[in-house]
Chain A
Amino acid sequence: MIKYPNKHTEAEAKEFLKRFLNSIVDVQEKELNLLINLFDLVTYKKNSIIINEGEIAEYFYFIYKGIVKVYFYKNDKPVIERFEKEGGLFGGNFTHLTKKPGTHVYESIEDVTLLRIKYADLEALCAQSHDIERLYRVNMELFHTKYVENLFIFKSLSSEERYHEFVRQFGDLTNRVSLKEISNYLGMTPETLSRIRAK
């Protein structure tokens, strides 16, 4: 990981984060700036582990560029739970609250540029600013809704339908994520996936 030296990129990334947050809830400019200023920019090379299994996450991340896969191990085999792309958020699955070692690995599958904020700073700001706390809450609600919906899709569709749903949701990712990873995420063999894609 390197702390990004380019102030220009940092300003752009923060502008992107601001637009993203403003599209969720209206927040006063002043309050929003308090939040944005707590973020700093970091980059990771492709295939870097950002948060590892067994860690307690110190930071919450926003993706400016790149893709991160989130997975855990089942009998020593990785199971991909989700992908996060530009505009996505991740933060170690609540380990900052439980203080128990995390079960998930967060790994870049491209070079990534991220904005990160310390949980301690985020919590202190939430306690101080009603607006920011509201933003945090609504974000969490939306995230959870998406999570449950994906689970629903996973359980309710056939493998072929699951693939088409993946393309609908992550259309722009299909060429950026390997077939092996997509098939792992969809819970099918790479052969089944190739067959579906060939159709």
Chain B
Amino acid sequence: MKQDAIKIYTEAEEHMKSVLNDLSKLSTDGMEAMLKLAKPVTFRKKQIIYQEGEIAQKLYFIHKGIVMAYYYVDDKLTIDRFIKEGEFIGGQVSYSTKIPSNLTFVTLEESVMLELDANSFLKLCADSHEIQSVYSLYLTQHFKRYSDMIVAFRALTAEDKYAKFMELYGTLVNRISLRNIAIFLGMKHETLSRIRSRMGK
């Protein structure tokens, strides 16, 4: 059991290393400084990582698992997005802006993550230009994906929305409940089922 735990944590570190290196090749020192901040943690299924109204104290890199960001509108669940393996979460960058997030973040599966203390990370960004650059690059790409998604969902028909969902989250389709997919897409469960059967799932 202990061996397994060590193995998965080593994998998590390797995973984060490859995500960072894909963005921009970091120096050995830079990479080591990042890994030094990262502490492996596991979350149970349906565990809340950030609560609405909270200012995040930690950042997480998702090695295994899926996180859902949501809020309630008049008691109705509204899903902002799903966050996949290989991505970071930080409570809507509240750890840096100090503006509380409107969203709650919850795991949909048992998850393995690397936890980074937000203040230590911000200090590292202040000390290392290289880390700050890679972080800016990550943020820019993330925001771009996010705004593309919003535009797509406002402009598309139900079928096209589902196709866009498959493009963004296709690899996760069997791991997210149909109910949650329907809520995310803002359509009725029946509409989603109809589209799925028409498109051959």
Q: A130, B140: Cβ atoms under 8 Å?
A: no
B182 CB to closest chain A CB (Å) equals 15
Contact size range, B: 20 to 34
Give the residues in chain A near B135, CB-CB below 8 Å.
137
- Verify if B123 is at the interface (C-beta below 8 Å from A): no
* Residue of A104, A126, A155 touching B78 (CB-CB under 8 A): A155
Q: A156, B132: Cβ atoms under 8 Å?
A: no
**Interface pairs (20), CB distance under 8 Å:** A72-B151, A73-B155, A93-B147, A94-B144, A97-B140, A97-B144, A103-B151, A133-B129, A140-B143, A141-B93, A141-B139, A143-B143, A144-B92, A144-B93, A145-B97, A147-B143, A147-B147, A148-B92, A152-B71, A152-B80
Tell me the A57-105 residues at the B interface (CB within 8 Å). 72-74, 79, 81, 93-94, 97-98, 103-104
Q: A81, B151: Cβ atoms under 8 Å?
A: yes
- Verify if B73 is at the interface (C-beta below 8 Å from A): yes
Q: B132, A137: Cβ atoms under 8 Å?
A: yes
Helix, strand, loop or mixed for chain B's interface?
A: helix
Instruction: Give bound CA distance, A93 to B146, whole Å.
Output: 11
Q: Give B contacts to A, CB under 8 Å.
A: 71, 73, 78, 80, 92-94, 96-97, 99, 102-103, 125-126, 129, 132-133, 135-136, 139-141, 143-144, 146-147, 150-151, 154-155
- Verify if A191 is at the interface (C-beta below 8 Å from B): no
Instruction: Give bound CA distance, A81 to B151, whole Å.
Output: 9
A148 CB to closest chain B CB (Å) equals 6
Q: B155, A133: Cβ atoms under 8 Å?
A: no
Instruction: Give bound CA distance, A104 to B155, whole Å.
Output: 12
Instruction: Give bound CA distance, A103 to B147, whole Å.
Output: 11
A10 CB to closest chain B CB (Å) equals 28
Give the residues in chain A near B94, CB-CB below 8 Å.
145
Q: A94, B133: Cβ atoms under 8 Å?
A: no
Instruction: Give bound CA distance, A40 to B143, whole Å.
Output: 27
Give the residues in chain A near B92, CB-CB below 8 Å.
144-145, 148
- Verify if A142 is at the interface (C-beta below 8 Å from B): yes
Give the residues in chain B near A73, CB-CB below 8 Å.
155
Which residue from chain B places its CB closest to the CB of A134 in the assembled complex? B132
